[in-house]
Amino acid sequence: MRGMIDRSDRAAKDRRREDRLLVDLDARVLPGGAPCRILDMSPGGARVRMHTALLAPSCVLVEWRSGRAYEAQVMWRANGEAGLKFSRSCDLRGIVPAPFVAAKALWSMRG
């Protein structure tokens, strides 16, 4: 199919600069705060499973309950999952730059 990315494990690993660690973490994707699951991650990116359709723009913020948020670019989407490439991160427990204000507000209300 035209425009599809080969997502075989070997092809994906060859493109990555870092190994990914298998995880199972709750997260939110902004804008909108849609829930998702982080399936694997590395310092440079993550694979997430969306609970709703991924309607976010190519750049999204992913917020972890641990208090970290990541500015990311969506690299691929398939079968309810997305591959994210991180461009920078932020600790939400302190003062945050403008792109992370919504992530901090969401994280602060997590209850």
Tell me the domain boundaries of the chain: 21-108
Q: What is the pLDDT of residue 101?
A: 93
**Rounded to whole angstroms, how far apart are CA atoms 96 and 72?**
16
Instruction: Please name the fold of domain 21-108.
Output: Thrombin, subunit H (2.40.10)
Quick one: what percent of the chain has pLDDT higher than 90?
Answer: 47
DSSP 56: -
Average pLDDT, the chain: 81
* Mean pLDDT score, 30-47: 92
Q: Where are the alpha helices (DSSP H) in the chain?
A: 9-15, 101-108
SS3 (DSSP) at 11: helix
**Rounded to whole angstroms, how far apart are CA atoms 81 and 93?**
28
Q: What is the pLDDT of residue 5?
A: 40
**Rounded to whole angstroms, how far apart are CA atoms 34 and 20?**
23
Structure tokens at 51: 């609970």
How much is the pTM?
0.79
